[in-house]
Amino acid sequence: MNKILLSIVCAGLSCSAVSAVPFQEIIGEDVGIFFAVRSVSETREQWATHPIVELFEDEELLNFFDTITDEDSADGAADNDEDFDAVLEAFGLSLDELFELFPGQASLAFYKLSEQVLDQVDREEMVLMAEFSGDADRLNELMQIQFERNAEAQKEVNPLVEHEMIEESFMGETLYFDETFNGETTYIEDGYAFVNGIVVLATPESRLREAVESIKEGASEPIADSDVYRRSREDAGRGDLSMYLNLEKLMPPLNAALVELPIMNNLAMFGVTAQSMQNALSLESLQGLYADLDLIDDGVLAHYGMIYGEKLGFLSLLSYGQGELPEARYVPEGVLSSAVSLFDCSAMLANLEQVLTSASPTLPPLIDMQMQAMQTNTGVDMRSSILENFGSSVVNLSVLNEAELEGVAMAEPQQLFMIELKNSQALAQAIEAFKDMVPGAGAMIEEQAYEGQTIYTIQGPSDPTLQGEQQASVSYVITRSELIVNVGRVGLLHKVLSRMSEGGDGLWQNPDVEVLFERIERPNAVTRSYVDAEQMIEPLFQSLLQAGEMSGLTKHMSADQIPSDLDLSYRLISEVNEAPDSLFGRTLIIKSEGSE
């Protein structure tokens, strides 16, 4: 019975009239996770003329995925779910007629998630709600069709299965339940009701009664009144499509179960107890996760965040400094991606030590002994020269066009990280001391001078499949105030060092990029990132082919079947901000100007 409404919601996720009562005022605060569609009709209308639609209708792209689907079917891996067109045909509805029946809100809520994870319940508990424009007779007609289809499908698998639709009167409403006998046991598979213009499908039957009561009289403790949920809406979006994970309900039982795992007995020798592990992780500080996806005129805007009571335990590892984000003028335009952040590596390491110490009281002396032994052998104070030597400025960038820089035949992804240092000389001395401790380490590292800096390169092992060529190398440079790490060919590092020497503006100073970020900026930003989606398409499809080849699903496909003329001139920009009780951010996907 539930497949047709689940199909409707799945279809509605890409499309949603607004009810006088938001479903969040009907859904109880004991919900584990719920998904909501604000207005199927409004979003579907906007989607019909949205610029991203052109991408999803591209023939090359459709043919690529059709080929994969055909191969899956040929190998017996086809999806067993009913074809949506067949569902519509059975109900005698066109797609437009279907959406006319379900024009407004829709939501799907799951309960007792932690109990499911811990195998403490036999069946999932869920409630599906959707606004319905027809009358009760029309709904019953459709549900009877689905009831019969479901019964026939199950009988093909198990001839002993029997279904009977039973009715129950509850609060002046008629509830319909699918009573099922599987050959051994009789149980209620699911049930539905039509109340105040809302179709409700739920399992078990207690959830249906509860939902009906909430619709008629209002929920006694709706999620909309939860302090954490209301806090999430302060930094969220419009919510064309939204998701909320209620960690207040999910984490306590999972946290309790974690310390009961057998591995805890093995950790007892290190002084780890159930209480110390709980204190160290502090999972109960997590209160909620949320995400909204909104269609806007020129793209897609996503809001998301994590809410917590206190930044304790593993949450303390998300350590950020204060101030302005790095300027990063050396980041060239035309990169695949770049991010600037106030992530404080030393603060994170210090907090990690505190977490480990909280879990195991015997650990601090062991750490101190190792630190002292290292200082005795090398003369290096590990804490001051390395662990406490990082600042709160991190920049990374990646490119795919290093073939031009290196003169090689194939472009390979390259990555570069720039980490602020408090005392660069101390770090350099520490690294040299460690080299002396490892026999032959010096011979493995190549040195070259470039733009007044010394580049140290550790070559990767040879790849026999590439006729003796080296795999990706790692290079590093220690400047007066930064540690620069380059993964891949050294051409990107050369380019960045040259730009640092020459000065000038880069990607992050581009007026178009600055204007773009004005659309999503908020106070106290700790991270910003930029991605040129157009450069990602070929590597993405190559990865899909490689994964398919490894699994045997795309063994008859080749690289020449990768779509080549897709209009993917989109940019993805993101910003993450920090508040005392949350981390929250936004991502904007927008088509590049002049790409029409």
DSSP conformation letters of 314-360: GGGGS-B--SPPP--TTS-TT-SEEEEE-B-HHHHHHHHHHHHHHH-
Element (H, E) at 138: helix 136-157
From 112-126, 326-340, 401-415, 517-531, the region with the lowest mean pLDDT: 401-415
pLDDT at 410 exceeding the cut of 50: no
Contact assessment for residue 190 and residue 165, using Cβ atoms and an 8 Å cutoff: no
DSSP designation for 574: E
170-189 pLDDT, tens digit each: 999 999 999 998 888 888 88
Element (H, E) at 591: strand 582-591
The larger pLDDT score, comparing residue 182 to residue 527, is at 527
Residue carrying the six token digits 């820089």: 405
> For position 407, what pLDDT does the model report?
45
3-state secondary structure of 494: helix
From 42-46, 124-128, 515-519, 577-581, the region with the lowest mean pLDDT: 42-46
Rounded Cα gap, residues 440 and 444, in angstroms: 7
277-298 pLDDT, tens digit each: 888 888 889 999 999 999 998 8
Average pLDDT over residues 575-586: 96
Rounded Cα gap, residues 204 and 111, in angstroms: 11
Distances, alpha carbon 440 to alpha carbons 321, 445, 446, 447, 478, in Å: 39, 9, 12, 15, 22
The larger pLDDT score, comparing residue 410 to residue 113, is at 113
pLDDT at 167 exceeding the cut of 90: yes
- Nearest residue to 147 (alpha-carbon basis) of 175, 125, 179: 179
Rounded Cα gap, residues 200 and 277, in angstroms: 42
Task: Name the pLDDT band for 478 (thresholds 50, 70, 90).
Answer: very high
Mean pLDDT of the chain: 84
Give 341: exposed, middle or buried? Use CB within 10 Å, 0-12, 13-18, 19+: buried
**How many C-beta atoms surround the C-beta of residue 120 within 10 A?**
11
Per DSSP (E only), the strands in 132-260 are: 162-170, 173-181, 186-195, 198-203, 241-245
Percent of the chain with pLDDT strictly greater than 90: 51
Q: Helices (H), strands (E): how many in the chain?
A: 22, 20
436-448 pLDDT, tens digit each: 887 777 778 899 9
Contact assessment for residue 380 and residue 433, using Cβ atoms and an 8 Å cutoff: yes
Rounded Cα gap, residues 232 and 237, in angstroms: 10
Contacts of 43 (CB under 8 A, 6+ apart): 14, 15, 16, 37, 240, 241, 295
> For position 229, what pLDDT does the model report?
96
Average pLDDT over residues 64-88: 59
**String of b and e for 80-102 (b: at least 16 CB within 10 Å)?**
eeeeeeebbeebeeeeeebbebb
pLDDT at 103 exceeding the cut of 60: yes
Q: What is the pTM of this model?
A: 0.85
pLDDT at 494 exceeding the cut of 70: yes
Task: Name the pLDDT band for 12 (thresholds 50, 70, 90).
Answer: very low
Contacts of 193 (CB under 8 A, 6+ apart): 170, 173, 174, 175, 176, 199, 200, 208, 211, 212
> For position 570, what pLDDT does the model report?
84
Element (H, E) at 527: strand 525-532
Contact assessment for residue 586 and residue 307, using Cβ atoms and an 8 Å cutoff: no
Residue type for 8, please?
A: I
pLDDT at 116 exceeding the cut of 80: yes
Domain ranges of the chain: 2-225, 248-317, 321-361+370-502, 510-596
DSSP designation for 239: -
**Nearest 5 degrees, angle CA 432-CA 435-CA 436?**
90
The larger pLDDT score, comparing residue 218 to residue 325, is at 325
From 72-76, 112-116, 146-150, 585-589, the region with the lowest mean pLDDT: 72-76
